[in-house]
Amino acid sequence: MSPLHLWALFGAAAGAALPVLIHVLTRPRGERRLLPTFRFLVETAQHTARRNRLRNFLVLLARALALLLLGLGFARFMQRAPEAAREPGERKGRKVVILDCSLSMKATEGGVALFDRARAAAQKVFDEPGTAEGELVLAAENARAVFGKTSPNLVALKDEIAKALARPERLRAAAALEAAARSLAGLGEAELAACEVVVVSDLQRGNWAKASFAPLPKGVPVRILSVGRDGLPNLCLAKAGISGLPEAGARFFAVADVVNYGRESAEVRVELAFDERAWSSTLQVPAGEVKSLSFELADVPAGWRAGRFRLVPAVPAADALPDDDVYPLCVRVQPAREIALVTLERPGEVGGPAYFLQRALESSPEATVGVARYLPGQLEGELDEALWNAELVAVVNAGLFSEAQAAALGRLLVAGIPVLFAPQGAVDADNVKILEAQLGAALRLPVEFQPYRGAGRASALGSVFAERAGHDDRGARFLVFADPERRPFRVFGDAVTRFTATLKLGGGLASRPRDGAGLELDAVRARYNDESAALIVTQVAAGRFGLLNMALGGDERRFAAHPIFVPLIQELCAELLDSDSQHNKEAGRCGQTVHVPVGRWTRGRARGAQDTQAWTLRGPDGQPVPLTGGDFPSLKDDAAGAALFWASAGRPGPYALDLDGEPAVRFTLVPPFDEEGDLSVLGKDVLEQRLAQDRTVSVVEAEIEEDSSRQDREHSDAFFLAALGCLFLELLFLKAFRT
């Protein structure tokens, strides 16, 4: 039997000596005095003194023993299991245990959670014979090693296992294996020969299919203890959100996908609670299939609105992972669609590009749209609050941008406001370059724009298309590619070629492909016969940027004169707006890095991120969440104002960020249901052969049953109980010797 905390032994000795020292220092000392009458009390005094000395000795002994036993209890004496005792000269064993703490480990079988089995199996590893040192890696989205290297403090590692919880996160197996490799760094070949990496996991297919054991040192065996059971049935809300543009008075929908990962068809009831109202629907989901459903949301007031989907299986046994049955929603309902149109054209001017674009923007069949015009000069200085509240900013015929104007458009994009730019002439080629320079790496278009020189630029391929279509290619351009799988051309279906065959355009800009890595090549959604890009849609920070390279006004070769102009503009707006983060405010996945722009919603109430007293973040339970960074979120200032950053996002549900007690922004954190819901187990052969990477990997089923004779025993409780008994014994002595 050996103590875990040696310092507590010194405390025990000092505690036992303390009552003795107090007794010696405070003992009364008598004085000799001659009193004539005192001789009659001598006999009684002697008897009382003997009784008091016995009482004081017993009380002192009880107190000293109580403090001594209390110190021994804190020392945590451990009695090692018989098998764990090492013979002299026996080599030391080091074990690094990776404990899977991902969401799928919350699944249950026979009423027992897989994670409970995993904890028991992990603790059992540290009780194995010959284990002298160990390390524990708690693995989910991020991997955390307890000590950073192997340590002889196995009891502390087992305590960490007992306190560990499964998290609403996916497992990044690569990060866990890298953390285990770091724990073994610096060891020599002889020391590595005595090491072993033990993985305790359910081996969920989605988490382990792309794992690689290459980061581990060669020669270190890997033992995988599987607690998963293939074929566990599960019903899952894989995805949910808002479809359509959420505007007051308009129709939009809450949609959800229900997946049945089981082997039999299952009946489920899907419930939606949203804005203090409730809906429900019953579905029959065949085995291995996805069923989608939607609920129409009407008469929803403007403002931030929250709700949740909930899955209720008819047979609870068909759902091994109940944690993926609730999906939170959060949406900002706009009072009306407001679009800002930046142009030099006067409102009464007819026939220009801004005139036609405004009419197309106002022609929405689903919502009331208001278009407000702004001069380019209004983008300089402090921006109008109406610009920050606009759902979309359209720019056409605006002249040459100043740096301040381009910077303002960049701030709007970073804040999450989509921008639609329609270049019309040579000056807009410079505008694109100025905007790219302001946004830097945030905006990297796959093409480089330059002024359009008219006839003579058509490529050989474009000429063939034009000749077959019967077009005169001189001075005009034709669409030879329009992506039918994505907006805005998706609405035309297979007839997109027929609709665009008669489209003959002049003006706009020419472009050529740009070389370089990391370019979003599929951002080009339409292309001319001279290989110039006709339409680009790309993501810029939190916003979307659309570049419509088509002449809208002027001579007969203008896009506004074509029948598909209005529906295409409406679909393009829907593409930009549907991707806007304000509509379905799902900030990110639990455990991952989250960035929530806030500046857009706090204009007029300007506060810097440093003014922490003005900001309040409340979690799903309504309790404040510290804005201190580290494991908690923090506020920082960026180009668009304050923004919330969370390096490793916390538990799922709706969050509310308030400024001066008033709503600033709402967002939700969602677990990776679509990745963790499938509980199928990766095959043993795949792990031992294809993923082993020349390492010795063995997969065995974890033995959950515990043998008490092979467990280390701690005797702290016995010492604490004995100390408590000494205190009661002291009270008994005082009672017995009471005079």
CATH number for position 592: 2.60.40
Does residue 295 share a domain with residue 167? no
Contact present, 615 and 628 (Cβ < 8 Å): no
Q: List C-alpha distances in Å: 409 to 150, 423, 457.
A: 53, 15, 32
Residue where a domain terminates, one of 295, 328, 361: 328
CATH code (residue 137): 3.40.50.410
Contact 254, 272 (CB under 8 A): yes
Q: What is the 8-class DSSP label of residue 681? A: B
Q: In whole angstroms, give the CA distance from residue 584 to residue 667.
A: 9
Domain boundary residue, one of 279, 298, 328: 328
Q: Specify the pLDDT at position 116.
A: 94
Kindly state the average pLDDT of the residues 437-452: 89
Which among 302, 328, 354 is the end of a domain? 328
In this structure, are 199 and 345 located in the same domain?
no
Amino acid at 185: A
- For residues 75-86, average pLDDT: 56
β-bridge partners, 351: none
- DSSP labels, 35-103: -GGGGGTHHHHHHHHHHHHHHHHHHHHHHHHHHHHHHHHHH-EEE--GGGPPPTTPPPEEEEEEEE-SG
| One domain for residues 61 and 139 | no
Could you identify the residue written with the tokens 């019967």? 470
Q: Which is higher by pLDDT, 159 or 639?
A: 159
Residue type, 365: P
711 located within any domain: no
> Are 570 and 659 found together in one domain?
no
Query: What is the distance between the alpha carbons of residues 731 and 287, in angstroms, rounded to a whole number?
Result: 70
CA distance 546 to 544: 7
Same domain as 568, residue 420:
yes
What does the pLDDT look like over 95-132, one tens digit per residue? 999 999 999 999 999 889 999 999 999 999 998 888 99
Segment 680-694 shows an average pLDDT of 88
CATH of the domain at 281: 2.60.40.10
Better pLDDT: 366 or 109:
109
Instruction: Report yes or no on 625 lying in a domain.
Output: yes
What is the model's pTM?
0.69
Q: What is the mean pLDDT of the chain?
A: 83
Question: Length of the chain, please?
Answer: 739
CATH number of the domain within which 488 lies: 3.40.50.880
Tell me, what's the pLDDT at 458?
A: 43
Total count of domains within the chain: 5
Q: Residue 700 forms beta bridges with which residues?
A: 225
Same domain, 617 and 471: no
Residue 461 counted as domain residue: yes
Q: Is residue 467 located within the same domain as residue 374?
A: yes
Provide the sign of the torsion angle of the four alpha carbons 493, 497, 502, 507, taken in this order.
positive
Q: Which domain holds residue 684?
A: 88-230+679-700
Whether 605 and 635 map to the same domain: the answer is yes
Distance of CA 192 to the CA centre of its chain: 36
| CA angle, residues 719, 722, 726, in degrees to nearest 5 | 135
The CA distance from 575 to 560, in Å, is 19
Average pLDDT over residues 648-657: 90
Asked whether residue 628 falls in the same domain as residue 663, the answer is yes
DSSP state of 687: I
Q: Tell me what pLDDT residue 383 has.
A: 86
DSSP code string of 625-657: ----STTS-EEEEETTEEEEEESS--SSEEEEE
Start-end of H helices in 295-426: 353-361, 385-389, 403-414
